[in-house]
């Protein structure tokens, strides 16, 4: 077997650890860049890498991208929630490998798969190989338009359950059974924001149907994550910047401010 070129993973948390193990099992040498290590110095010493996966939290993504040296910029892979093309285009990056991750890994717990993870870009097959070794289903997409739709599907799901969870708590099964109209009303305003950010219209029925199908598959998933309030505040800020009304989101903000 021909020796494969190394993969660099920036950030070895729970998600980065899953990819690191998968790439190693697939035969890729893996070089981690962890907190405290210089990305610039690492790039100088790891000359033959093929793929650089940024497995950092979404709130650190832009700061980390700005540290990426030129020789790595056309090798990047992104996996963050709330990801859209504007996030890499704003940094002058035209070619990227990006994915909508539909599995989770938490401390002292196994991997929970929601549905296949779609990926697109020049290193999509590398991602597929690594996830395959971890028994995580992955779908390689055929176009950047497909990728955008898949990213928005994930964003609508994550933002809707987090925002609903701020007021209702509970699980996705609770939303499905007891608060589906409420969840759909949030999703429609989230889609308004996503369309403004992406500068593109989407099939709302498709996005909401995708969201509900995940509710059905993982009814025990908790709605309110640890960064739910950050995401909610960010959504409200985007809506304010865009200049359109979000009566459902605004109503939630007003109610929780009075509790």
- At 129, which CATH number? 3.40.50.720
For residue 69, what pLDDT is reported?
Answer: 92
Res 1 pLDDT > 80: no
Asked whether residue 193 falls in the same domain as residue 109, the answer is: no
Asked whether residue 227 falls in the same domain as residue 133, the answer is: no
Asked whether residue 2 is domain-assigned, the answer is no
Asked whether residue 131 falls in the same domain as residue 169, the answer is: no
Average pLDDT, the chain: 95
**pLDDT tier, 259 (very low <50, low <70, confident <90, very high otherwise):** low
Asked whether residue 21 falls in the same domain as residue 131, the answer is: yes
For residue 106, what pLDDT is reported?
Answer: 87
Boundaries of domain holding 200: 145-257
Asked whether residue 215 is domain-assigned, the answer is yes
Asked whether residue 29 falls in the same domain as residue 113, the answer is: yes
Please state, in angstroms and rounded to a whole number, the distance separating the CA atoms of residues 234 and 62.
15
Read out DSSP for 182-245? Answer: HHHHHHHHHHHHHHHHHTS---HHHHHHHHHHHHHH-TT-BS--TTHHHHHHHHHHHHHHHT--
- At 192, which CATH number? 1.10.1040.10
Please state, in angstroms and rounded to a whole number, the distance separating the CA atoms of residues 7 and 26.
11
Report pLDDT digits (tens) over 92-137: 998 999 999 999 998 888 999 999 999 999 999 999 999 999 999 9
Give the residue-averaged pLDDT of 176-201: 98
Asked whether residue 99 falls in the same domain as residue 127, the answer is: yes
Asked whether residue 1 is domain-assigned, the answer is no
3-state secondary structure of 256: helix
Report pLDDT digits (tens) over 199-209: 999 999 999 99
Helix axis angle, 180-198 relative to 247-257, nearest 10°?
120
Report pLDDT digits (tens) over 20-79: 999 999 999 999 999 888 998 998 888 789 899 999 999 999 999 999 999 999 999 999
For residue 46, what pLDDT is reported?
Answer: 86
């Amino acid at each position: 077997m021909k020796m494969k070129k190394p993969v660099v993973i920036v950030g070895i948390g729970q998600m980065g650890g899953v990819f690191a193990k998968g790439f190693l099992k697939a035969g890729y040498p893996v070089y981690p860049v962890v907190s405290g290590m210089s990305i610039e110095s690492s790039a100088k010493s790891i000359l033959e890498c093929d793929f650089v996966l940024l497995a950092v939290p979404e709130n650190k993504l832009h700061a980390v991208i700005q540290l990426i040296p030129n020789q790595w910029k056309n090798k990047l892979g992104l996996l963050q929630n709330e990801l859209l093309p504007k996030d890499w285009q704003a940094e002058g990056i035209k070619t990227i490998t990006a994915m909508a991750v539909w599995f989770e890994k938490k401390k002292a717990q196994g991997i929970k798969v929601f549905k296949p993870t779609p990926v697109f870009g020049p290193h999509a097959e590398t991602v597929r190989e690594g996830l395959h070794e971890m028994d995580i289903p992955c779908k390689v997409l055929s176009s950047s338009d497909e990728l955008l739709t898949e990213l928005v599907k994930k964003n609508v799901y994550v933002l809707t359950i987090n925002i609903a969870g701020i007021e209702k708590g509970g699980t996705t099964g609770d939303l499905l059974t007891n608060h589906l109209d409420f969840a759909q009303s949030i999703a429609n305003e989230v889609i308004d924001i996503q369309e403004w950010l992406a500068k593109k219209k989407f099939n709302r029925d498709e996005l909401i149907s995708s969201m509900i199908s995940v509710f059905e598959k993982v009814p025990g998933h908790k709605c309110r994550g640890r960064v739910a309030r950050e995401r909610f505040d960010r959504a409200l800020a985007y809506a304010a910047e865009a200049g359109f009304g979000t009566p459902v989101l605004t109503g939630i903000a007003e109610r929780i401010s009075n509790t």
